[in-house]
């Protein structure tokens, strides 16, 4: 196990410390717009999210009310059959129907980070290494939680891929390896069409996953999360409204960029692209073929779960100079944190990922 010693980090002066300079800090945005749930302590490591399948649908196609039980019928025929099935005959009691659940199983996982330092480093080194480790731990755990959510979201099954062309001439392609264009207004319309057709509701409020993340009422909209590299292309959408022009509307958080029609864009440098995964290039093709996931969310599409009774992050602090049989001299100390957490898609048709390049600027 690695341990921080007095000589591990060379002293800058050796006698008097100067100021500690700023450092990069992670950004956490994804958990603010999902369904957040506390898991009761001492119950289980698994929680089940249940919804009821609408009449005419199946658990595998819970967002389709008509065609699932009417294979081969067109949309008009399917709706007619749906209505006809509810017509009664005089004096005859219709057959009773049953409802069926659709369950999503989520299992909690423990995540942990741990640093160690010696009593000499703790007592004699010119900088407060222990305090720096505490700060780094909190930021590191926040990043871990953000990436757990991100990896689940971008793995959703409802996906679209940008082809070449701009404006109304923008195309889509069949896979990530063929992605060859930046996001266009037609692409966004295609994603929103899919969410609406599957009864995905716009998000009307931001839910608070813990006491240290504020709750804000927001105008009804779908939310799109993407890497900060996409800012240029988003701002270039015709009709884009930046946060600075919102007037009385409140931004979701400090990382909201602005809105386009019924979509509000939130950017973060942690939402990394698939490097080198796009199409083979031609002159003028943007962004060296890195493919960026644009994650579109509807209400109740996604859930994050933490253990009830625990803070968002449970700190670990065992300072040096605490003597016990395993460390009689109190020569070692530990600083870190742990938390129980899980994230899962609740409805694959209410979350969509559009993958695109970004303009090389």
Give Cβ neighbours of residue 117 (< 8 Å, ≥ 6 apart): 3, 4, 5, 129, 130, 133, 320, 332, 333, 335
In this structure, what token pair is assigned to residue 294?
């644009």
Q: Is the dihedral of CA 310, 312, 314, 317 positive or negative?
A: negative
Give Cβ neighbours of residue 245 (< 8 Å, ≥ 6 apart): 258
pLDDT at residue 76 in the model: 57
pLDDT at residue 310 in the model: 52
pLDDT at residue 348 in the model: 93
Please state, in angstroms and rounded to a whole number, the distance separating the CA atoms of residues 3 and 84.
73
Give Cβ neighbours of residue 360 (< 8 Å, ≥ 6 apart): 286, 287, 288
| Residue 254 is assigned to a structural domain of this protein | yes
In this structure, what token pair is assigned to residue 190?
């295609």
Structural contact between residues 324 and 128, judged by C-beta atoms closer than 8 angstroms: no
For 167, the domain range is 158-302+345-356
In this structure, what token pair is assigned to residue 21?
């300079």
| Residue 120 is assigned to a structural domain of this protein | no
pLDDT at residue 138 in the model: 83
Nearest to 354 by CA among 233, 183, 209: 183
CB atoms within 10 A of CB 172: 18
Domain count, the chain: 1
* Strands 203-205 and 217-227, bridge-based pairing: antiparallel
Q: Is the dihedral of CA 316, 318, 324, 327 positive or negative?
A: positive
Classify burial at 79, counting beta carbons within 10 Å of its beta carbon; exposed 0-12, middle 13-18, buried 19 or more. Answer: middle
| Residue 31 is assigned to a structural domain of this protein | no
| Residue 114 is assigned to a structural domain of this protein | no
| Residue 198 is assigned to a structural domain of this protein | yes
In this structure, what token pair is assigned to residue 296?
């579109």
pLDDT at residue 287 in the model: 44
pLDDT at residue 9 in the model: 55
In this structure, what token pair is assigned to residue 293?
């996931």
| Residue 22 is assigned to a structural domain of this protein | no
Nearest to 204 by CA among 153, 138, 250, 145: 250
pLDDT at residue 5 in the model: 58
Output the tens digit of pLDDT for each of the chain's 361 residues.
676 654 555 544 433 333 434 444 567 888 877 777 777 676 777 888 777 878 777 777 777 776 545 555 554 577 777 778 888 898 998 888 888 888 888 888 999 999 988 888 777 666 678 888 888 888 888 888 899 999 999 999 999 999 989 888 999 999 999 999 999 999 999 999 999 999 999 986 654 444 444 444 456 899 999 999 999 999 999 999 998 888 777 788 889 999 999 999 999 999 999 998 888 665 444 445 899 999 999 999 998 888 765 556 778 888 888 888 888 888 888 888 888 889 999 999 999 999 999 998 8
| Residue 97 is assigned to a structural domain of this protein | no
Q: If you search the block for the tokens 């695109």, which residue do you land on? A: 356
Residue 182 per-residue DSSP state: B
| Residue 91 is assigned to a structural domain of this protein | no
pTM beyond cutoff 0.85: no
């Amino acid at each position: 196990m690695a341990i921080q010693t007095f000589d591990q980090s060379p002293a800058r002066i050796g006698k008097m410390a100067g100021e500690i300079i700023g450092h990069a800090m992670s950004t956490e945005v994804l958990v603010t717009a999902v369904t957040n749930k506390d898991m009761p302590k001492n119950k289980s490591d698994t929680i089940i999210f249940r919804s009821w399948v609408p009449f005419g649908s199946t658990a595998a196609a819970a967002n389709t009310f008509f065609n699932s039980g009417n294979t081969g019928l067109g949309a008009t025929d399917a709706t007619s059959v749906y209505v006809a099935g509810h017509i009664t005959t005089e004096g005859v009691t219709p057959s009773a129907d049953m409802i069926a659940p659709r369950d999503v199983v989520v299992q909690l996982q423990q995540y942990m980070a741990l640093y160690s330092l010696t009593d000499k480093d703790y007592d004699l080194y010119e900088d407060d290494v222990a305090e720096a480790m505490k700060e780094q731990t909190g930021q590191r755990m926040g990043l871990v939680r953000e990436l757990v959510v991100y990896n689940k979201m971008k793995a959703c099954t409802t996906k679209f891929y940008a082809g070449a062309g701009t404006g109304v001439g923008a195309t889509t392609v069949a896979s990530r390896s063929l992605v060859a264009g930046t996001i266009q207004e037609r692409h966004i319309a295609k994603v929103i069409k899919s969410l609406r057709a599957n009864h995905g509701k716009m998000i009307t409020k931001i839910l608070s996953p813990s006491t240290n993340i504020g709750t804000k009422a927001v105008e009804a909209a779908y939310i799109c999360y993407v890497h900060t590299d996409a800012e240029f292309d988003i701002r270039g959408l015709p009709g884009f409204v930046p946060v600075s022009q919102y007037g009385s509307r409140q931004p979701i958080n400090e990382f909201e960029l602005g809105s386009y029609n019924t979509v509000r864009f939130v950017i973060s440098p942690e939402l990394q692209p698939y490097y080198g995964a796009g199409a083979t290039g031609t002159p003028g093709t943007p962004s060296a073929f890195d493919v960026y996931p644009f994650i579109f969310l509807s209400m109740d599409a996604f859930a994050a779960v933490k253990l009830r009774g625990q803070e968002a992050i449970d700190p670990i602090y065992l300072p040096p100079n605490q003597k016990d049989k395993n460390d009689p001299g109190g020569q070692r100390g530990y600083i870190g944190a742990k938390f129980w957490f899980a994230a899962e898609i609740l409805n694959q048709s209410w979350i969509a990922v559009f993958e695109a390049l970004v303009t090389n600027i």
